[in-house]
Amino acid sequence: MPAGRRDAERRPTTGLGAGPADNAGQPTDPVAVAREICLHQLAARARSRAELAVTLRRRGVSEDVAETVLDRLTAVGLVDDDAFAAAYVSSARERRGLGRQALAAELRRRGVEPDVVDAATGVIDEADEAEVARDLVRRRLVSMDRLPEQARVRRLVAMLMRRGYSGELAARVVREQLAVADHEDEVEPSPEWD
C-alpha cells in the first residue's frame, strides 16, 4: 500500500485541544475528528476540497459534518482550489514537464471544478508549452542517436503525447529538434589527428 494511502487510512490520535476526549485520547466531537483528519492530510501536501471530502467520506464522517469542516477550512484559506490548481500546474510543469492536457486531466481527477482547471491551465501560453516540449525532446535525443530516424520520431512524439502535449505540437517540435540535431551533427568538426 502506498505511503499516502496508509496515512489517509490512519485514525487520528488526539483532538489537539479541539474538544473533549474519551479515556483513550480520541476526540468525541465529530467536527473535531473531521478537522483533525483534514489538517493531517493538509500537513502532508496540499489537497483539493474534493480530495478531502473523499477522505472524510472514507473515514466515516457524515456529509453534514464534512461540509461544515470543509466550509470552515475554506473560509480561513487552508482549502483553496484556485491556489491548489495554480500551484499544481506550476510544480508539475517544472518537475515532470507535463503539457496542458495532462495537467487538466490530473486536476479534474483530483476533483477540481472545470472553470478552476481552465483558469489554472489558461496561464500556459503556446510558446512556453512548446519550449518545455523542446527541452524534453533535447534531453531524450541524447540517448537515441543510434536509432533510425523513424523510431526516434515515433518514440519522441509518443513521449510528448503521454505527457499531455497535443499531437500537432508534438510532431512539430520533434521535427524541429531532429532538424537541429542533424544540422549540429553535420557542422560538428571532426577531431584532427596528429
**Average pLDDT in the 108-137 region?**
94
Q: How confident is the model at residue 142 (pLDDT cuts 50, 70, 90)?
A: confident
Q: What percent of the chain has pLDDT over 90?
A: 69
Q: How far, in Å, CA of 46 to CA of 78, rounded?
A: 9
**Average pLDDT in the 70-97 region?**
94
Q: Annotate 66-116 with DSSP letters as a single string.
A: HHHHHHHHHHTTS--HHHHHHHHHHHHHHHH---HHHHHHHHHHTT--HHH
pLDDT number for residue 4: 53
What residue segments make up the domains of the chain, in order of their start? 3-75, 81-122, 126-187
Q: How far, in Å, CA of 38 to CA of 12, rounded?
A: 10
Is 81's pLDDT higher than 90? yes
pLDDT number for residue 146: 87
Kindly report, residue by residue over 2-51, the tens digit of the pLDDT. 555 555 455 444 444 444 444 456 657 899 999 999 999 999 999 999 99
Q: How far, in Å, CA of 155 to CA of 157, rounded?
A: 6
pLDDT number for residue 28: 77
pLDDT number for residue 23: 47
| pTM over the 0.75 mark | no
Is 159's pLDDT higher than 70? yes
- What dihedral do alpha carbons 70, 71, 76, 77 form, nearest 10°? 70
Q: How far, in Å, CA of 178 to CA of 88, rounded?
A: 31
Counting every residue written for the chain, the total comes to 194
Question: Is residue 21 helix, strand or coil?
Answer: strand
Q: How confident is the model at residue 122 (pLDDT cuts 50, 70, 90)?
A: very high
